[in-house]
Homo-oligomer: A and B are copies of this chain.
Amino acid sequence: MMGFKFPKKVNIVEVGLRDGLQNIKQVLPTETKLELLNLLSSTGLTAIEVSSFVRSDKIPQLADAELLYSSIDLKKSIHYPALVPNVTGLLRAINSGVKSICVFTAVSETFNQKNINCTLEQSLYQIERICKIARQKNVQIRGYISCVFGCPYEGKIAYATTRKYAQLLLEFGCYQIALGDTIGIATPGETLKCIQQLKAEIPLTKLAMHFHNTYGQALANILVATGAGVTTFDASICGLGGCPYAQGASGNIATEDLIYMLNSLGIVTGVDLNQLLLASAFVKKILPDEIESNVVRAKLSGFDSNKPFHL
């Protein structure tokens, strides 16, 4: 339409239960998470990140990963990946019947050291070991790379560096690499530059993008990324998930806002927005102060046409 060429279909990876919840202090009961998971499973979503097998003292919110996986009402049409930081986490995940994991590193040396307490090289070595075992067990592996658009400590990092590590993770056996705008500083211009650099060596089907909305640019970033051929995006129910490294409010892009936009362009996601809003309403009930979705605010609030108003 007028020079724009969008893909027919876009895949959404729902990360609210893991990325969304992990920085929220109020620990939710497992049964609440299960209720949300069931609501999300009924929307048409095909990938729902459920939890992370990290040390429970590190992220109390995600301490119930085992319990959660043993209680899920699994649907064959849905992937339920878990984040795995090391081999111990992987073994816990496999033991819980997890069929799909995510591994992660950052392109920034300092961020790795501050966030996961190891060097970039150690992190990659860890990932290589995880991938080796996971592949033997027929567990699918998705890779996350953080700080692709910049690091809170090191600032801008060349996209060629991201490309190098993305290629490495693909060689390790990841089926896809999610490029994380960890602090939400990506812009449409930078998104296009990033894609341009990466697509020179990596097929776009192997890439996903993960935007936070710190500067309000996330939907615009996704719009140009779809136009440039990327077809998988992470998103979080209600925009859950601030990043304390980023200045200001900065949730993940809200799944609702993303689907609202894609629907308008006739881009198929397979997700039923009305069904999704039932999950949103549930989140709004349990975490009323964490809602970062405009669509949720607009759709789930009262509308009073009697208020005085001036053009």
Query: Which residue among A5, A263, A311 has the maximum number of chain B CB atoms within 10 Å of its CB?
Result: A311
Contact of A257 among B216, B308, B309 (CB under 8 A): B216
Most buried by B among A3, A213, A254: A3
Are the C-beta atoms of B216 and A294 separated by less than 8 Å?
A: yes
The docked-state distance in angstroms from the alpha carbon of A140 to that of B187 is 36
B294 touches A249 (CB 8 A): yes
Q: How far is the CA of A216 from the CA of B260 in the complex (A)?
A: 9
A175 CB within 8 Å of chain B: no
Q: Are B310 and A22 in contact (CB under 8 A)?
A: yes
Tell me, yes or no, whether A171 is within 8 Å of chain B by CB. no
Which of A41-49, A131-139, A155-163, A218-226 has 4 or more CB atoms under 8 Å from chain B? A218-226
Q: How far is the CA of A123 from the CA of B140 in the complex (A)?
A: 63
Contact with B along A171-208 (1 / 0, CB 8 A): 00000000000101001111010011000000000000
**A34 close to B (CB within 8 Å):** no
A215 near B260: Cβ-Cβ < 8 Å: yes
Given A3-B227, A5-B3, A195-B2, the answer on whether A304 and B257 have CB atoms closer than 8 Å is no
Stretch at the interface among A71-79, A88-96, A238-246, A274-282: A238-246
Residues of B within 8 A of A247 (CB): 298-299, 301-303
Residues of chain A touching chain B, judged by Cβ–Cβ distance below 8 Å, are: 1-5, 22-23, 54, 58-59, 83, 104, 106, 115-116, 144, 146, 152-153, 182, 184, 187-190, 192, 195-196, 213-217, 219-220, 223-224, 227-229, 243-250, 254, 257, 260-261, 263-266, 293-295, 297-305, 307-311
